[in-house]
């Protein structure tokens, strides 16, 4: 099979891991930067050019779209999908998952546990918004943040009000969330490939930090999921429409609470922690779905 990996940087661990896994399984693998793709439509004919070169003869794409490239990246993925290539990431699911507002709404509406969340558009009703949540401290998050950046803890109402006002002034939409203290700075990352759990790890925030992201200095260990956690992770992936994803959840008194479903989950942490060849599973997922042109 000929497989394209969409990635801004071919030396990244996740990109390398996918390329190596594909080559080990006998496929032709190529990495191209989605931000340097030109999209052409003429009549019903759709094409993608990469630095003047027509990109054809591929069977599948594996998009690795970073947060900063969501908008154009999804247009490139859409083009390839419309051209009939199999994609491990659906462009609509990508857009859905990148927004913490739509993610929380959809998960909650389908009965998946999420931390109590309040979304508000203006600064006039901050008092009320804080009252809906009730307890302090609370977590304030940028609607479109990642790697733990834009996620902060407000200790009291005055403090929370000032932070929310500042974000609104900067035209940044935020979500307010109950702080799940009993998680004790740990969360669980579950890697799903094709509806199946392929690996899971617990990430513990470093001392004095509540965000457990590995990018924020958290450390990871292998974890055994409870039945409820496994079910919630699989359901969350399905609801978001993501075949390959990383589901983040907190262990709480109420059971698992989903924080987000990552559409381009990093592979380094999960592969080195669990010693599982996740990239290989992603390649096998392509093999099962892409039509061979041979
Ligand atoms: N409501 C919450 N209660 C306790 N901890 C939280 C809460 N929300 C997020 N966290 C911590 O902050 C980290 C980052 O939050 P997350 O919503 O996943 O944003 P990001 O997209 O930046 O990773 C989580 O992995 C978790 O450790
Ligand atoms: Mg996260």
According to CATH, the topology of domain 116-179 is Dna Ligase; domain 1 (3.30.1490)
Q: Is 117 in the pocket of ligand 1 (CB under 6 A)?
A: no
> Alpha helix (H) ranges present in 201-245?
227-240
Residue 294 has pLDDT above 60, yes or no: no
pLDDT tens readout for residues 17-62: 999 999 999 999 999 999 999 999 998 899 999 999 999 999 999 9
Q: Which CATH class is domain 2-89?
A: alpha beta
Distance 31 CA to ligand 1 centre (A): 31
Give this prediction's pTM. 0.94
pLDDT of res. 225: 98
Q: Which atom of ligand 1 is nearest to the CA of 213?
A: 25
Find the mean pLDDT for residues 207-212: 92
Q: Which atom of ligand 1 is nearest to the CA of 187?
A: 27
- At 185, the pLDDT band (50, 70, 90 cuts) reads very high
> Which DSSP letter does residue 272 get?
H
Residue 73 CB burial class (10 angstroms; 0-12, 13-18, ≥19): buried
Q: What is the dihedral of CA 68, 70, 71, 72, to 10 degrees?
A: 80
> Where are the chain's structural domains?
2-89, 97-101+182-281, 116-179
Q: Which atom of ligand 1 is nearest to the CA of 150?
A: 22
Mean pLDDT, rounded, of the chain: 94
Fold matches, 2-89 and 116-179: no
Find the mean pLDDT for residues 262-284: 97
Mutate to test the pocket of ligand 1, among 100, 151, 176 (most ligand atoms within 8 A of CB): 151
Find the mean pLDDT for residues 214-222: 92
Distance 228 CA to ligand 2 centre (A): 20
Pairing of strands 28-32, 2-6: parallel
CB atoms within 10 A of CB 109: 9
What proportion of the chain, given as a percentage, has pLDDT over 90? 86
Architecture category of domain 97-101+182-281 in CATH? 2-Layer Sandwich (3.30)
Q: Are 69 and 8 in contact (CB under 8 A)?
A: yes
Residue 193 CB burial class (10 angstroms; 0-12, 13-18, ≥19): buried
Residue 293 has pLDDT above 70, yes or no: no
Residue 186 has pLDDT above 90, yes or no: yes
- The number of C-alpha atoms within 13 Å of 242 and in the hemisphere containing its C-beta is 29
pLDDT of res. 292: 62
């Amino acid at each position: 099979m000929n497989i394209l990996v969409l990635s801004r940087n071919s030396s990244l661990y996740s990109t390398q891991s996918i390329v190596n896994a594909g080559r080990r399984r006998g496929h032709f693998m190529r990495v191209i930067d989605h931000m340097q793709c030109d999209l052409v439509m003429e009549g019903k004919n759709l094409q993608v050019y990469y630095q003047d070169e027509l990109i054809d003869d591929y069977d599948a794409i594996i998009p690795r779209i970073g947060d900063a490239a969501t908008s154009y990246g999804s247009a490139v993925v859409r083009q390839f999908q419309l051209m009939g290539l199999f994609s491990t990431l659906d462009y609509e699911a990508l857009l859905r998952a990148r927004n913490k507002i739509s993610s929380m709404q959809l998960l909650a509406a389908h009965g998946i546990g999420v931390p109590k969340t309040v979304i508000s558009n203006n600064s006039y009703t901050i008092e009320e918004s804080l009252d809906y949540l009730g307890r302090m401290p609370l977590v304030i998050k940028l609607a479109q943040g990642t790697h733990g950046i834009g996620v902060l803890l407000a200790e009291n109402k005055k403090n929370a009000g000032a932070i929310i006002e500042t974000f609104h002034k900067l035209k940044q939409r935020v979500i307010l969330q109950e702080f799940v203290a009993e998680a004790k700075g740990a969360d669980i990352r579950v890697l799903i490939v094709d509806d199946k759990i392929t690996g899971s790890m617990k990430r513990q925030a470093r001392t004095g930090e509540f965000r457990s992201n590995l990018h924020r200095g958290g450390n990871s260990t292998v974890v055994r999921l409870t039945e409820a956690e496994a079910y919630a992770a699989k359901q969350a992936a399905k609801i978001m429409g993501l075949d390959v994803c990383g589901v983040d959840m907190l262990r709480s008194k109420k059971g698992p609470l989903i924080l987000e479903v990552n559409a381009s989950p990093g592979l380094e942490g999960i592969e080195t922690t669990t010693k599982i060849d996740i990239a290989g599973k992603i390649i096998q997922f392509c093999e099962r779905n892409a039509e061979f042109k041979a």
